[in-house]
Chains A and B, each alone.
Chain A
Amino acid sequence: MLPIARNTDGTPMDEGDVALEAWKYVLSDVMDAGVKAVRTGEILSGVSQCAVEIAETPSDIVFQIDKVCVSRYRPLAKVRADVPPVLICYGLFGRQTMIDLQEDRSLVRNLLKAGIDVYVVDWGTPTRVDQFLNMDDYIDDYLGSCVEHVVAANDGKPVTIFGICEGGTFAAALAALRPELFAGLALAIAPIDFHGKPEEFWRGEGFLNRWIRNLNDDDIDRIIDVDGMLPGGMTGAVFSSLTPVTSMTKYNLGLKALDGDEAAILNFLRMEKWIADRPDHPGEAARQWLKQLYRDNALTSGEFVVSGRKVDLRSIACPVINIFAMQDHIIPISCSKALSEFVAEDRYEEIGFPGGHVGVFVSRKAQGVVADGLVDWIGRTQIEK
């Protein structure tokens, strides 16, 4: 027990006085922080909206079905690698622009530089008109049609699908239902076992899983019925609460720490732009996502049904690489790693990235670990026949 702070007459100091005294001692540090904040403020006040652009790598829309588009990226390497094209599929909870945040933090660019032909799915902006779209529509119809298009453009030969987060779950389900389309399946931060292994969770891991399981079916119905959609604002707030102090301090201490570094501030603003652009999730698909997957864990139990067919993950026949984040607050490690139980050992690889959910794509470290690892895996396992 530490000694109690006392007044000069020996009486114990009041809690409020102790706090005031402590404040006096940190005043010089507060002043120092103020100077740094002013430096950052100066840069921020000079930044125009157009300086904060994301997803600028040139591409062309090559396929469209309802609001869903597929873009093909223009090559950046002189020689095309002898591997199948890669179709990247993000989830519906955020935007695919995260994989091309800025020139030096872009999965798309890293793949293009390696000579890989890159396609990306854009789900568009679902509105209440799209509230009745369900998992059949998204997995079988939309994603299935996008993959069919890329396969057709590849002379009918199978291609590699890289599914991220919810898009990874979609890709895994489609790979099980239509294995003939897949030359390879790459997943990143994708939930497979939605319950995971709670006994292995570190503090803060698996909150989302517990939170959703604490709701009953009526709660989930009410959330979705009120808006017809799962509001992006709500999912954004839940994601922010997973890292409480970071979320509370990023606009004060976080900005102060940037200390007027223009490149770092622009990077920060690009991330903010991406975070703020969180679409609403179509209601019926969200209902299935929360009830059948998060609550009932139907994918691993083999009870998840898409277009009338049960998804059996053991039907995945292509090489698989599974990338997960070691400090992922959103998707617990055990929820992603569970895929290993369904794929033959000689066709399954993993990369455990030392970072958080989004850090897998936007951190400086990820450019080497994840992008290089993926390119290496594609090169080793998927030489185009």
Chain B
Amino acid sequence: MADADQGFEKMFDIWKEGQEAFFEAQKKAVSRMNEMFSASLNNPEQSSLRDWIGAFDFDMSFTDWDGLIKAWAAPWGSKSDQEKPFTPFDPENWNLQNWQQYTPEQLRLILGNIAQGPRFADMATPHRDAAEAWREVLDYQKAAAEFSTVMQAAWGRAYQTFSKQYSLDYLKVNDGNENLEAWLKIANDELLETQGSQAFMDAQKQLLRAGLAVKARQQKAAEDWCNIYQLPTRTEVDDLAKTVQELKREVRKLKKEIAGKKA
């Protein structure tokens, strides 16, 4: 079991770094603004809109904001990603995991540490519940990204198949509706093929599980809220419904027995 304090410490460090970078960026921007306003007050000729905008040092601000983002997502803006040429229909470009793998993973680990820390009877439970809830939302986002990756790859393959089978010259001379039908058929075949794949099945199963976990958490929160305000919870209403259902079943059975005896 992970140490809960360790998780809180890591979380605190991230917040601290982020806050420092944020204030640093703000401080410089405010300082430039002050300089600009004092210059304008002293020299009314400099108070045009262009001068006002020009007074901000955007390069410097970007550097500071970049620092803020890096505090959250260490690999942000790595050169290898930036220098890779972009080809619009390369399925890899639509792999959302490439875009979303940084901060959520860090956070997920931290939240896990918090949620799995030693539990006491009455202490810090809301914090742990909140950490669990947050982590489940991140799990859902991750599962959704992985599912999207599978689907985007399918669309990429469909496009590649279509572009291999139908050249631009063919499209020029052929009927547009026929071309559309051809594209839809290729897309449909590819989607059906993908839906039958284990990768799709597993990605969708994970998405389903993650979505249900979030929904169950929301329901638990609703039950807690009902408890606070002394309203009947869903569990209590369900218990009643079950009792009524069993009684109705019993009544139907007895009615049939009576009808059978009369006949």
Q: Which residues of A contact B209 (CB under 8 A)?
A: 219, 222
B83 in contact (CB, < 8 A): no
Q: Tell me if A154 is interfacial: C-beta within 8 Å of chain B.
A: no
Q: Which residue of B lies closest to A144 (CB)?
A: B256
As a 0/1 sequence over residues 170 to 208 of chain B, the CB contacts with chain A under 8 angstroms (1 = contact) are: 111001110110001001110111011000011011001
Question: Shortest distance in angstroms between A179's beta carbon and chain B's nearest beta carbon?
Answer: 19
Whether A3 lies near B169 (C-beta < 8 A) is yes
Are A137 and B249 also in contact (CB < 8 A) when A1-B164, A219-B208, A226-B212 are? yes
Please state if A21 and B168 are interface contacts (CB–CB under 8 Å): yes
B179 touches A245 (CB 8 A): no
Residues in B with CB closer than 8 Å to A241 are 195
Q: Does A364 count as interface, using CB distance less than 8 angstroms?
A: no
CB of B248 closer than 8 Å to a CB of A? yes
List which A216-250 residues lie within 8 A (CB) of chain B: 219, 222-223, 225-226, 228, 241, 243-246, 249
Contact B192 A25 (CB under 8 A): no
Q: Is the CB of A22 within 8 A of B171?
A: yes
Residue A129 interfacial (CB < 8 Å): yes
Q: Is A16 an interface residue (CB 8 A)?
A: yes
- Picked from A3, A25, A214, A253, the residue with its CB within 8 Å of the CB of B176 is A25
Q: How far, in angstroms, from A244 to B184 measured CA to CA in the complex?
A: 10
**Smallest CB gap from A6: residue in B:** B168
Given A228-B238, A249-B184, A211–B201 Cβ distance below 8 Å? yes
Q: Does B43 contact A (CB under 8 A)?
A: no
Stretch in A202-210, A320-328, A350-358 with 4+ CB within 8 Å of B: A202-210
Tell me, in angstroms, the Cα distance from A225 to B234 when the chains sit together: 12
Q: Is the CB of A132 within 8 A of B245?
A: yes
B231-260 vs A, CB cutoff 8 Å, 1 = contact: the mask equals 000000110011011101100100000000
A214-B189 in contact (CB<8A): no
> What chain B residues lie within 8 Å of A129 (beta carbons)?
241, 244-245
Contact assessment for B196 and A210 in the assembled complex, using a CB-CB cutoff below 8 Å: yes
A244–B192 touching, CB < 8 Å: yes
Cα(A29)–Cα(B188), bound, Å? 21
When distances are taken between beta carbons in the complex, the residues of chain A under 8 Å from B244 are: 129
Residue of B191, B201, B245, B248 ringed by the most chain A CB atoms within 10 A = B245
Q: Is B163 an interface residue, CB under 8 A from the partner? A: yes
A-B contact count (CB 8 A): 105
- Give the distance to chain B from A232, nearest Cβ to Cβ, in Å: 16
Q: How far is the CB of B247 from chain A (nearest CB, A)?
A: 11
Q: Beyond A22-B171, A129-B241, is A203–B192 a contact (Cβ under 8 Å)?
A: yes
Interface centre among B175, B196, B209 (most CB of A within 10 A): B196
Q: How far is the CB of B180 from chain A (nearest CB, A)?
A: 7
Residues of B within 8 A of A42 (CB): none
A30 to B180, CA, bound (A): 10
Q: Which residues of A are found within 8 Å of B189, using beta-carbon distances? A: 203
Does A5 make an interface contact (CB < 8 A)? yes
Q: How many residues of A contact B (CB 8 A)?
A: 47
A360 to B201, CA, bound (A): 29
**A214 & B241 in contact (Cβ 8 Å cutoff):** no
Task: Assess whether B124 is interfacial by the CB under 8 Å rule.
Answer: no
> Contacts A18-B168, A203-B196: A222 and B212 contacting too (C-beta < 8 A)?
yes
Q: Indicate whether B38 reaches chain A with its CB closer than 8 angstroms.
A: no
The answer to whether B219 touches A203 (Cβ under 8 A) is no
Whether A15 touches B88, Cβ cut-off 8 Å, given contacts A5-B168, A244-B192, is yes
Instruction: Across the interface, name the chain B residue whose C-beta is closest to A215.
Output: B205
A66 and B196 contact, CB distance less than 8 A? no
A5-B167, A129-B241, A244-B192 are contacts. A29–B176 as well, Cβ < 8 Å? Answer: yes
Residue of chain B at shortest CB distance from A234: B208
Check B32 for interface membership: any CB of A closer than 8 A: no
User: In whole angstroms, how far apart are the Cα atoms of A214 and B184 in the complex?
Assistant: 28
Q: A131-B238, A215-B205 are in contact. Are A66 and B169 (CB under 8 A)?
A: no
Which A residues touch B193, using CB under 8 A? 203
A207 touches B241 (CB 8 A): no
| Residues on B with beta carbons closer than 8 Å to the beta carbon of A15 | 87-89, 163
CA distance A22 to B179 in the complex (A): 10
B216 interface contact, C-beta 8 A: yes
With a CB–CB cut-off of 8 A, which chain B residues contact A2? 164-167, 170
Contacting residues, chain B, for A215 (C-beta < 8 A) = 205, 208
A226 close to B208 (CB less than 8 A): no
A11 contact set on B, CB distance < 8 A: none
What chain B residues lie within 8 Å of A203 (beta carbons)? Answer: 189, 192-193, 196
Chain B nearest CB: distance from A311 CB in Å?
A: 20
B119 within 8 A of A: no
B175 to chain A, nearest CB (A): 7
B189 to chain A, nearest CB (A): 7
Nearest B residue to A142 by beta-carbon distance? Answer: B252
Closest to B212 in A: A222
The answer to whether B201 and A210 have CB atoms under 8 Å apart is yes
Partner of A26, one of B176, B196, B219, B252: B176
Most B Cβ at <10 Å: residue of A26, A66, A141, A249: A26
A25, A28, A128, A223: which contacts B241 (Cβ < 8 A)?
Answer: A128
Q: Which 7 A-B pairs have the closest CB atoms?
A: A29-B176, A245-B188, A2-B167, A26-B176, A244-B191, A204-B192, A5-B168
Known: A26-B180, A214-B205, A243-B188. 5 other contacts (CB 8 A): A3-B169, A131-B238, A132-B241, A203-B189, A222-B212
Q: Point out residues on B near A: beta carbons under 8 Å.
A: 87-89, 163-172, 175-177, 179-180, 184, 187-189, 191-193, 195-196, 201-202, 204-205, 208-209, 212, 215-216, 219, 237-238, 241-242, 244-246, 248-249, 252
Task: Enumerate 7 A-B pairs (CB-CB under 8 Å) in ascending A order.
Answer: A2-B165, A18-B168, A25-B172, A130-B245, A211-B201, A214-B201, A245-B191
Residues on A close to B: CB < 8 A? Answer: 1-3, 5, 13, 15-16, 18-19, 21-22, 25-26, 28-30, 32, 65-66, 128-133, 137, 141, 203-204, 207, 210-211, 214-215, 219, 222-223, 225-226, 228, 241, 243-246, 249, 253
